[in-house]
Structure 1
């Protein structure tokens, strides 16, 4: 008989186990992992550096990075937020640093620092780690939890934590217990675009861009807009501005079968008339300059040239030879450049889903289930997800820490 069994050997599972064990040294705790290795998502996060959290310390601001779960996380973030996360790791010898974009990593620049910290804490607190153990059924018998795993193995525990991430098999087991779940759809992905304007520009990034989704069939998409950096890749468009759109519009994009349109304002300014006036001014100020060879607005020369060609500007055309029609088309390419998106691609090694246990099932003061007060959940098993930048890990740390205090 265990005091606490945890299904899932990832970030939320380990954080729950360690914090519960440190709060009560007498607990008998085990982590059950279906695979051969634990903490695999921690290992690959942030390109192998582990994006531990984000330098956003005000809970009311922090929740704005969560398309699903934002209101539910407000009070939990008041109890455990990025400041607490940093203190937790640094008190255990893992120093954390902030990068210019707010993302926070171990000073070592290696996710192994986080993994070693967790494994060392498990060893010190006598937490069992049992791998190659796929749970096939979960039953509540007389208030205790009976787990049957592959190979006819059985486990019994007074309390149970589910920290399995987006695992459909586990969601089905929870449905058998009468727990409502929301179907999973991908979040945090890039857009597949085949367009001659960007086909040879992979690697070019623009820092301040405004992107807007549009679709004549799926009107709900027209409400989504984001700003930030954008990256041209060999398959289409990526970067923070795109990833934010993929997260916030995850369900609508799934409903559209990932076929829709996107408008890109490469200059990141809503003042279109100012752009038009600037271009007209070049006709007066720089009449003999070649339009294609001299990029405006600090834009990449390769991107500028591609957009000029799309606007019908000739290779040897000078500003003096540029009329109102060319200016109008160039303004359109610069501020309302439309692309047809057909499909998506996974963002690096990271895969995040929108979906999971319905948040109405959860008591967020303890991260336990309202129907089963001795059943806890944290991490992506819940219908909570965030944009890229360390926010998904922060939700996992917060839920796991609060659950451990209650346990």
Structure 2
């Protein structure tokens, strides 16, 4: 049974970041990374469509934490110690420049996740950190002052261990045996499956909208993207993240209310429609989109309001005007099911946050047991925020493990 100063379980972003920083905080420390799969850093490779969305250009902790449905309160302190600017500096010190895109997402200038992977692998080699793949952990036990990690035929021991396995049910069960409470995992960051004539044949169309879940205190605003299977885009993804548990409890069958014109209520838009009836009396309603809505979406909503293609504004009666105002500002859509957002599967769930010291990311229940990344009940919306949580937790854990 071989011993190490630090053993890190999980060969992903958080695991590598923790190992590299620990080696720099304590030169000469013997560090081992154990990865259950054939390859390391697989999630880094697919992040951002293969470009690696490293972090997000938000430099105020109070604003950054607003992007975490779970972990907002707990991350405030850690972000004051290590956050976006520190992440940028860390990579720049290793020759990797990051760029900011219009939506705030940050990628390596190379636009390739391999740049980040190569950096990590190079740093691991430079520091002499051992990396072992195909190492599914069978058991984690405390023996005196050391942790014993059993792989079946082989075992390792160390004084300190860090769990950076993401949403791994087997590891969670081992942590439960050590006294930790695990919040069951449910999907977060998913799109809505909707079959509805109003959005049929409109994939690719995007517009800003307000979205609410009927009967729940869940709402969001942002770009809404119509897809082949329903709706996606930031407005929908935010709802799926903040409502992960509630929507799971509804078995992903619920209604959403969409306001295609967030600046207006249905009552206010009704008055605007009356003005249009007067101003464009002889104009065909379907022919010219109003309120800067995408033309085909406007035409579908007009049709849904019971207005035919040849009708002119002057012909509209009170009921038609009212119906159109509801289609524009109060559209109801039935959601039946979800689809995973890209390949980056994110879950809500993990180690209970009340059982973790967020100054060090050490367990409050087990001395010398640390956590980083999505093994904790922390998750974020899309845009580089989940990686920033990984970098922050891994950095603080590495610092604490080497002090």
Please give the TM-score of this superposition, normalised by the length of structure 2.
0.98
**Unaligned runs of at least 5 residues, structure 1:** 216-221
Rounded to whole Å, the distance in 1 between the matches of 2:247 and 2:203 is: 24
2:339 matched to which residue of 1?
A: 345
1:218 matched to which residue of 2?
A: none
Retained in 1: the 8 A contact 2:56–2:106? Answer: yes
Rounded to whole Å, the distance in 2 between the matches of 1:23 and 1:88 is: 14
Rounded to whole Å, the distance in 1 between the matches of 2:145 and 2:354 is: 22
The counterpart of 1:89, out of the listed 88, 91, 102, is 91
Retained in 1: the 8 A contact 2:266–2:328? Answer: no
C-alpha distance 270-296 of structure 1, shift in aligned 2 (>3 A):
closer
Rounded to whole Å, the distance in 1 between the matches of 2:86 and 2:265 is: 41
Rounded to whole Å, the distance in 2 between the matches of 1:272 and 1:89 is: 49
2:211 matched to which residue of 1?
A: 211
1:8 matched to which residue of 2?
A: 10
Deviations 1:234-267 (A, max 9, x none): 1111000000000001111111111111000011
Count of aligned positions: 399
Rounded to whole Å, the distance in 1 between the matches of 2:107 and 2:272 is: 42
The counterpart of 1:38, out of the listed 37, 40, 44, is 40
TM-aligned CA deviation for residue 274 of structure 1: 3.3
Rounded to whole Å, the distance in 2 between the matches of 1:143 and 1:264 is: 57
TM-aligned CA deviation for residue 6 of structure 1: 0.5
Rounded to whole Å, the distance in 2 between the matches of 1:239 and 1:268 is: 16
1:236 maps to 2:230: yes
1:176 matched to which residue of 2?
A: 177
The counterpart of 1:61, out of the listed 40, 60, 63, is 63
The counterpart of 2:362, out of the listed 358, 361, 368, is 368
User: For structure 1, which segment, 179-188 or 270-279, has the greater mean C-alpha deviation from structure 2 after superposition?
Assistant: 270-279
TM-aligned CA deviation for residue 373 of structure 1: 2.3
Rounded to whole Å, the distance in 2 between the matches of 1:270 and 1:74 is: 35
Deviations 1:305-326 (A, max 9, x none): 1100000011111111112211
The DSSP-based 3-state class of the residue aligned with 2:213 is strand
Deviations 1:15-49 (A, max 9, x none): 00000001111110011000011101111011111
Retained in 1: the 8 A contact 2:164–2:371? Answer: yes
**Unaligned runs of at least 5 residues, structure 2:** none
1:269 matched to which residue of 2?
A: 263
Retained in 1: the 8 A contact 2:188–2:348? Answer: yes
1:133 maps to 2:135: yes
Rounded to whole Å, the distance in 1 between the matches of 2:267 and 2:335 is: 28
Retained in 2: the 8 A contact 1:385–1:392? Answer: yes
Rounded to whole Å, the distance in 2 between the matches of 1:330 and 1:260 is: 23
Deviations 1:129-170 (A, max 9, x none): 1001100100100020111114x1111111100000000011
TM-aligned CA deviation for residue 277 of structure 1: 2.1
Rounded to whole Å, the distance in 2 between the matches of 1:45 and 1:398 is: 18
Retained in 2: the 8 A contact 1:210–1:269? Answer: no
1:328 maps to 2:322: yes
The DSSP-based 3-state class of the residue aligned with 1:97 is strand
User: For structure 1, which segment, 311-320 or 271-280, has the greater mean C-alpha deviation from structure 2 after superposition?
Assistant: 271-280
Rounded to whole Å, the distance in 2 between the matches of 1:195 and 1:119 is: 48
Retained in 1: the 8 A contact 2:88–2:98? Answer: yes
Rounded to whole Å, the distance in 1 between the matches of 2:369 and 2:145 is: 10
TM-aligned CA deviation for residue 334 of structure 1: 0.6
1:102 matched to which residue of 2?
A: 104
Alignment RMSD, CA only?
Answer: 0.9
Rounded to whole Å, the distance in 2 between the matches of 1:171 and 1:132 is: 19
Rounded to whole Å, the distance in 2 between the matches of 1:22 and 1:95 is: 21
